[in-house]
Amino acid sequence: MFRSALSGLRHTALALGIAAIAFFASQANARQAPAIPSSVPHVLTGIDVLEQENFAPLRGKRIGLITNQTGVDSQGRRTIDVLKSAPGVKLVALFSPEHGIAGKMDSAVGNATDQVTGLPIYSLYGSTRHPTPEMLANLDALVFDIQDAGVRFYTYTTTMGYCMEAAAKQHIAFYVLDRPNPLGGVVIEGPMLDPDKLSFVGYFPMPVRYAMTMGELAQMFNAENKIGADLHVIAMKNWSRNEAYNEAGLPWISPSPNLRSLTEDYLYPGIEILQAGGVSVGRGTDTPFEILGAPWIDGNKLATALARRKIPGVEFSPATFTPTQDLYAGKTCGGVRIRIALSGELRSMSVGMEIASVLQRMYPQNFQLQKTIFLIGSQSTVDALARGESPAKIVKSWNPGLAKFRAIRAKYLIYR
């Protein structure tokens, strides 16, 4: 599969270019549409920079690599293969996050062996979510190269945090090969995570959209959580905070089975929170997070109610669908399809609040609002929705927490 990655990435880049034209075509009130991705990225990710440096930071070290299918260089080569053949570097073991080394699993993942290199793959989403001392024995460093989704409850950030903790305990260095935040480096959105709700889907008290790269997050986690890791970030070159992912010339490689496009990633933060409340968010369809519904929803009525709210950046149309897996598999669901109309105006958490508010009003016996706390992470936000407060008021209530977060975040930013 990975030997054909370069060809696949070229086709993906072409497809992303076509999608980007449609995605930004209607940005009448936003900034000028970004350039279409080229076949050669102008942004160099951490692995590309490491190659430019002839792997100097890792020379003489026995390393373990935490990665998945998103860990590739600008030529489409797996970071695994690049480091395996790197002069002076001894790649000893691989570690995989949720969804496995190939990003195809939607359940617990077991240990395995990489078919190309023969290296052991230790799963961090199976019997353990922390690297054990035995896994780290005989290593001098851990290297992290995974593309994140830019969302607090996406588990790759927690996996990185757990790995940093393990590296610190074993007194081995930790390297982050940095990549862009696909949701950009500017827009911060959503409620802060309550301090008592830390979990595998909430490693650090921060908002749902934090607008930081993994390298920047690693610096924040290390300092604020007092991890004490010997941390090194291999920073990108040529990336700026206000640069959209598709401007970087990088192809979209799905970080997990249901995030198949940049459009879906933009919608994901606000739509995913609804699933715990008993709503299908499109898993088991061709367009996850672009469609939502349930057997108890009247799609026409829901679309009409949402249209009345004139939510910036999105349009809704009635939909009927039957998921093939996950929630309501094999059952006909009524609901809505979501189209991003003005991407510059889209605030996905605001969209999620509006939809949750409408569902709570229209279907109070069916929509299980209290269960959304698992991902929303803010009890005051869930309580406000239950009281029927307006989404605009709820969003405004996040501002004091976000202001404090911005002050903390500013200390760890690498890119301007």
Asked if the 262-377 domain carries CATH number 3.90.1150.140, the reply is: yes
- Distance CA(358)–CA(274), nearest Å, equals 12
- Distance CA(117)–CA(99), nearest Å, equals 20
Sign of the C-alpha dihedral computed for residues 121, 126, 127 and 133 taken in this order: positive
- Is the pLDDT at 21 greater than 60? The verdict is no
Check pLDDT > 80 for residue 219: yes
- Strands (E) in 109-183, as ranges, are 112-113, 120-123, 141-145, 173-177
Name the amino acid, one letter, at 89.
Answer: V
Which two tokens mark 392?
Answer: 């605009």
Residue 74, helix vs strand vs coil: coil
Where does the pLDDT of residue 383 fall: very low under 50, low under 70, confident under 90, or very high at 90 and above? very high
pLDDT confidence of residue 342: 80
Name the residue with tokens 């057997």: 295
- Answer yes or no: is pLDDT of 9 > 80: no
Question: In the chain, which segments carry CATH 3.90.1150.140?
Answer: 262-377
Residue 53: other Cβ atoms inside 10 A: 12
**Per-residue pLDDT at 38 exceeds 70:** no
**Stated pTM of the model:** 0.89
Q: Which helix (H) or strand (E) holds 338?
A: strand 333-340
- Quick check: 330 pLDDT over 80? yes
From CA 324, how far away is CA 260, in angstroms rounded? 17
The mean of the pLDDT values for the chain is 91
| Secondary structure letter of residue 121 according to DSSP | E
Instruction: Number of helices (H) and strands (E) in the chain: give both, helices first.
Output: 13, 10
Tens-place pLDDT, residues 247-267: 898 999 999 999 999 999 999
| pLDDT of 224 over the 60 cut | yes
Q: Please state, as a whole number, how many other Cβ atoms lie within 10 Å of the Cβ of residue 134.
A: 7
pLDDT of residue 6: 34
Over residues 146-191, the pLDDT tens digits come to 999 999 999 999 999 999 999 999 999 999 999 999 999 999 999 9
CB 211 within 8 A of CB 241: yes
- Going by pLDDT thresholds of 50, 70 and 90, the confidence category of residue 407 is very high
Using pLDDT thresholds of 50, 70 and 90, give the confidence band for residue 31: very low
For 184-203, write each residue's pLDDT tens digit: 999 999 999 999 999 999 99
pLDDT at 16: 37
Q: What secondary structure letter does DSSP report for 306?
A: H
At 62, list the tokens: 């026995």
Contact 352, 343 (CB under 8 A): no
The rounded distance, in Å, linking the Cα atoms of 323 and 293 is: 10
**What's the pLDDT band for 40 if we cut at 50, 70, 90?**
low
> What pLDDT score was predicted for residue 356?
98
Fold of 2-248: Rossmann fold (3.40.50)
pLDDT band at 343 (very low <50, low <70, confident <90, very high): confident
The proportion of the chain whose per-residue pLDDT surpasses 70, expressed as a percent, equals 90
Pick 351 or 246 by higher pLDDT.
351
DSSP 179-232: ---TT-SS--BSPPPPGGG-BTTBSSS--SB----HHHHHHHHHHHTT---EEE
